[in-house]
């Protein structure tokens, strides 16, 4: 047996309470392990503490497994009678059997040796207060991300300074302002509702210098370019009336150059009451205007206009607790997306979470983290994260023809074995954003575009489309991905057809519980190396099949089913770049 491939701990999302009664136990092994059995029981009942006590617990085979690139992920759910559990594994390769304990591997003879002290894996007590609880509504949500300056100007006749005429076509620059505002978003709520949207993710709206507002000046004031607190209140209230929730962007890793405490620090140096709010190393050259590569203070990505906030400081923590509380009480927001969510301190996040969840228990706390975020998803910081690994995994599969359907399977399984199910269930799934190239820009091909969207809409978590995706808007990396929404072209037949296509996917997502569910597997019904097939299951084991033809030849589809969504499919043939979603019974 390949011992190095075997891994289990009672931490790190490998053994955790799903709720007050169910315990999830996961195990990784190499491919040489063919069967796994779990022995489990109550620590005070099962009697395997050594000596001559006999094991009285249960022996059960673990039947659910997912294939990762070089490992197998075995998973099972237990219901410990007394909320305690002790367990060990029995691993079978083709010709060996090993027993896996907390302190290593034993043969059967060793294990049964009289008097041996067996170190079982132990879950001493499943405390309800420690269960990772994430808001239920998120899994049902269809998000729409809005970059406010570029979505809709709802007050075109007003006299805001420096606003350019709306650009229905062509490129935009970062310093340009087009006058999109909260009133514009409010006016488009019926449009969003019609599309099927049930959640809006708003890029920053608090007062700031730039057009993107990631350089906050005042965390308590709506940016005057976007409106005021009344417009924001009205927007959220009306969104709620339309069944649409609202999530705001929180830039707590750094502030902007005009944030009052930072101005005070620049003026008074070490003597400032806010000296501890930032991360200053050299007080003598604070006012220099240049990148912070010289280390005079820390900032976001060396941007001197974005000084890093010291989220380790008690004063900063308590200041931002109040800021969040204000947003909830004043505007009744439903979610907070934490910008640069991996650089703020864990301590800060735990305190913010406790504070805001006490005010609004089902508020959604989303971290902007692009890589494995397990350390932030233990249940006491974020509810979940932006699922960038899924985005890049899908993207890589589509650009790399040497990748096979197994690689697709490994990638998806990787994305859904990193975190607890509670977090997987509310992952924020996206294929593009204000920080990336637009989806349509990657291949300039509508069929590939919808194939990828079909994946997005059938994955566990909640799907988000970036404004303009409904009409397959083009745009390269920042700032090109932030073009103005071309409202004067929305009614063209071509755009209406595209909108209709997205509406179909949204409708399906809402009406087919299997598409929203956490359960899926990859059958092996086809030989074609790039014919991706996966099956999603709902609670009642009803199956929905997703087929994506990523080969260069048509494929004859096997079996029967009720077609829910299709492109490039006719008379049993799925053409290259085609997609088929079918309900196939139990």
Output 91 or 250, the one with its CB closest to ligand ARE. Answer: 250
Does 251 help bind ligand ARE (rule: CB under 6 A)? yes
Q: Which of residues 343-382 bind ligand ARE (CB under 6 A)?
A: 368, 370-371
What is each CA distance from 567 to 177, 453, 474, 504, in whole angstroms?
39, 12, 21, 12
Map the footprint of ligand ARE across residues 88-147, applying CB under 6 A. Answer: none
Q: Which of 495, 541, 538 is nearest to 517 (CA)?
A: 538
174 binds ligand ARE (CB under 6 A): yes
Question: Shortest Cβ distance from residue 357 to ligand ARE (Å)?
Answer: 23
Q: Which of 192, 340, 464, 557 is in the footprint of ligand ARE by CB under 6 A?
A: 340
What tokens were used for 480?
A: 């090109």
Q: Give the closest residue to 253 by CA, choosing from 327, 312, 333, 324.
A: 312
Select the residue interacting with ligand ARE from 214, 397, 467, 569 (CB under 6 A). 214
Dihedral angle computed from the Cα positions of residues 203, 205, 206 and 212, in that order, rounded to the nearest 10 degrees: 60
339 classed as catalytic? yes
What DSSP string describes 483-498?
Answer: PPP-GGGTTSHHHHHH
- Asked if residue 479 has a cis previous peptide bond (ω within 30° of 0), the answer is yes
Q: What letter would DSSP give residue 165?
A: P
Q: Please say whether the beta carbons of 365 and 344 come within 8 A.
A: no
Q: Give 405 or 414: the residue with its C-beta nearer to ligand ARE.
A: 414
Nearest by Cα to 25 from 71, 64, 81? 64
Which residue, 155 or 342, has its beta carbon nearer to ligand ARE?
342
Q: Does 223 bind ligand ARE (CB under 6 A)?
A: no
Q: How far is the CB of 460 from ligand ARE (least distance, A)?
A: 22
- Catalytic-residue membership of 470: no
CB of residue 132 vs ligand ARE: minimum separation in angstroms? 23
Q: How far is the CB of 222 from ligand ARE (least distance, A)?
A: 18
Q: Residue from 66, 84, 212, 567 that binds ligand ARE (CB under 6 A)?
A: 212
- Interacting positions 397-456 with ligand ARE (CB under 6 A): 434-435
Which of 339, 409, 501, 512 contacts ligand ARE by CB under 6 A?
339
Q: How far is the CB of 436 from ligand ARE (least distance, A)?
A: 8
Give least dist CB 391 to ligand ARE, A.
10
Q: Which is nearer to ligand ARE, 70 or 371 (CB)?
A: 371
Q: Find the shortest distance in angstroms from Cβ 560 to ligand ARE.
A: 42
The C-alpha atoms of residue 516 and residue 137 are separated, in whole angstroms, by: 12
Spatial separation of the C-alpha atoms in residues 326 and 52, rounded to whole Å = 62
In the set 12, 478, 528, 575, which binds ligand ARE (CB under 6 A)? 478
Closest approach of Cβ 27 to ligand ARE, in Å? 28
**Contacts for 549 with CB less than 8 Å, ≥ 6 apart:** 530, 531, 555, 568, 574, 575, 576, 577, 578, 579
- Among candidate residues 361, 362, 389, the one with its CA nearest the CA of residue 374: 389
Q: For the window 297-316, what string marks contact with ligand ARE as x by the rule CB under 6 A?
A: ---xx-x-------------
Q: How far apart are CA 24 and CA 430, in angstroms?
A: 27
Nearer to ligand ARE, 174 or 541 (CB): 174
Size of the site for ligand ARE (CB under 6 A): 16
Task: Exactly one of 207, 304, 368, 381 is catalytic; name it.
Answer: 368
Tell me the residue number closest to ligand ARE, measured at CB. Answer: 214
3-state helix, strand, coil split of the chain in percent (to 5) is 30, 25, 45
With vertex at residue 516, the alpha carbon angle to CA 379 and CA 518, rounded to the nearest 5 degrees, is 55
Q: With contact defined as beta carbons under 8 Å apart, do 134 and 460 qualify? A: no
Q: Which of 334, 339, 407, 409 is catalytic?
A: 339
Q: Which is nearer to ligand ARE, 216 or 422 (CB)?
A: 216
**Footprint of ligand ARE on 254-293 (CB under 6 A):** none
Closest-CA residue to 451 (of 398, 403, 414, 493): 398
Q: Give the interface with ligand ARE as residue ranges (CB under 6 A).
A: 174, 212, 214, 251, 300-301, 303, 339-340, 368, 370-371, 434-435, 478-479
Catalytic residues: 339, 368
């Amino acid at each position: 047996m390949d011992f190095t491939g075997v891994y289990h701990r009672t931490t790190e999302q490998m053994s955790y309470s799903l709720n007050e009664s169910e315990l999830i136990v996961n195990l990784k092994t190499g491919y040489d392990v063919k069967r796994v059995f779990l022995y489990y029981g109550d620590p005070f009942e099962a009697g395997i503490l050594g000596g001559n006590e006999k094991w009285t617990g249960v022996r059960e085979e673990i039947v659910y497994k997912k294939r990762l690139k070089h490992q197998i992920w075995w998973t099972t759910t237990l219901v410990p009678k007394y909320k305690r559990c002790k367990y060990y594994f029995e691993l079978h390769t083709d010709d060996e059997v090993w027993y896996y304990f907390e302190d290593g591997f034993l043969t059967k003879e060793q294990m049964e040796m009289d008097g041996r002290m067996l170190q079982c894996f132990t879950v001493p007590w499943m405390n309800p207060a420690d269960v990772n609880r994430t808001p239920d509504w998120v899994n049902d949500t269809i998000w729409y991300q809005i970059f406010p300056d570029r979505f809709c100007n709802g007050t075109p006749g007003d006299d805001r300074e420096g606003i350019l005429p709306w650009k229905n076509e062509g490129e935009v620059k970062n310093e340009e302002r087009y006058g999109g505002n909260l009133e514009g978003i409010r006016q488009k709520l019926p449009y969003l509702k019609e599309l099927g949207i049930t959640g809006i993710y708003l890029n920053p709206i608090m007062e700031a210098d730039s057009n993107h507002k990631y350089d906050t000046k005042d965390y308590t004031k709506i940016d005057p370019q976007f409106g005021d607190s009344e417009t924001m209140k009205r927007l959220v209230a009306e969104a709620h009336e339309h069944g649409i929730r609202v999530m705001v962007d929180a830039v707590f890793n750094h502030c902007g150059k005009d944030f009052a405490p930072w101005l005070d620090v620049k003026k008074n140096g070490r003597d400032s009451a806010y000296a501890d709010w930032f991360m200053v190393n050299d007080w003598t050259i604070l006012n220099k205007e240049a990148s912070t590569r010289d280390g005079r203070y820390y900032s976001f990505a060396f941007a001197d206009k974005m000084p890093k906030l010291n989220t380790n400081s008690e004063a900063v923590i308590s200041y931002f607790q109040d800021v969040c509380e204000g947003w909830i009480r004043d505007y009744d927001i439903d979610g907070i997306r934490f910008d640069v969510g991996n650089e703020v301190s864990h301590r800060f996040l735990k305190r913010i979470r406790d504070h805001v969840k006490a005010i609004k228990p089902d508020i959604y706390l989303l971290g902007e983290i692009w890589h494995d975020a397990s350390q932030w998803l233990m249940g006491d910081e974020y509810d979940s994260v932006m699922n960038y690994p899924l985005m890049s995994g899908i993207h890589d599969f589509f650009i790399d023809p040497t990748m096979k359907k197994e690689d697709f399977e490994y990638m998806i399984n990787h994305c859904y074995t990193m975190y607890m199910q509670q977090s997987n269930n509310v992952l924020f799934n996206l294929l593009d954003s204000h920080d990336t190239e637009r989806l349509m820009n990657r291949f300039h091909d509508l069929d590939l575009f919808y194939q990828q969207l079909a994946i997005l809409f059938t994955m566990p978590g909640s799907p988000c489309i970036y404004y303009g995706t409904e009409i397959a808007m083009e745009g390269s990396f920042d700032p090109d991905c932030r073009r103005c929404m071309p409202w004067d072209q929305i009614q063209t037949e071509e755009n209406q057809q595209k909108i209709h296509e997205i509406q179909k996917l949204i409708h399906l997502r809402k009406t087919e519980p299997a598409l929203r569910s956490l359960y899926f597997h990859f059958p092996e019904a086809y030989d074609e190396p790039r014919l991706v097939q996966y099956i999603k299951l709902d609670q009642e084991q009803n199956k929905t099949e997703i087929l994506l033809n990523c080969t260069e030849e048509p494929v004859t589809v096997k079996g029967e089913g009720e077609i829910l969504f299709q492109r490039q499919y006719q008379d049993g043939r799925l053409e290259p770049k085609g997609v088929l979603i079918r309900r196939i019974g139990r």
